[in-house]
Amino acid sequence: MNNRDIEKILEILMTESSKWNAPVKVLKRRTSDPFKVLIGAIISTRTKDEVTAEVVERLFSHVKRPEDFLSMSETQIASLIYPCGFYRTKARAIMGTARTILEAHGGKVPETMEELLKLPGVGRKVANIVLSRVYGKKAIAVDTHVFRISNRLGLVAAKKPVDAERELLKVLPESWHKEFNELLVAFGQVICRPVKPKCDQCPIERYCPKIGVRIERKD
């Protein structure tokens, strides 16, 4: 796929995304606070998008800052983030992350991949969400939607998320790095689904080679 087609695809998706009621858009509208974005990204790992939106809203109606978590128990946090995937493990990670941010970073969320990866529960996807969405850095978060759709469109030919991230950094215009994750997540939540994608409703169908798509949604 050439650079001109990539730009056109992204422009179309950006225009069409205003029509989509996708959970990821709700999450972004609710906060740009670095700490809340970080914790929300930790919660989102291996969790359905709709559940993440509900859990994040409930959690931050009770707590606002890293220090608020330290007055709570892991059990209390776990009950607030249930039923997200691995909620007990994530409660422990959230506690550890809040403590590390306070003790090692003066209450500020780190701005580098190296320091973010030292936080409990933070992998490359979570770190890249923070770096791109909050700090505007050259980073692309590759979650299940981004990985699937990037391969489906032929933007990359990757077997692992880390390989997709590396390839996307090469082929995507830098001006799109910050928006790319949210754009493809919203697209994946509403139209380009894992099973039976809505190809008949897809605004970029003419550009898509549909790599790996076996069944198209017709209803």
User: Residues 144, 103: contact at Cβ < 8 Å?
Assistant: no
CA angle 136, 141, 143 (to 5 degrees): 155
DSSP secondary structure of 24-56: HHHHHHH---HHHHHHHHHHHTTS-HHHHHHHH
Q: 196 an active-site residue? A: no
Catalytic residue among 64, 143, 178, 218: 143
Residue 99: exposure state from Cβ atoms within 10 A (0-12, 13-18, ≥19): middle
Q: 125 an active-site residue? A: yes
Catalytic residue among 68, 125, 138, 196: 125
For the four alpha carbons of 61, 66, 72 and 73, in that order, the dihedral sign comes to positive
Query: DSSP secondary-structure letter at 84?
Result: S
Residues classed as catalytic: 125, 143
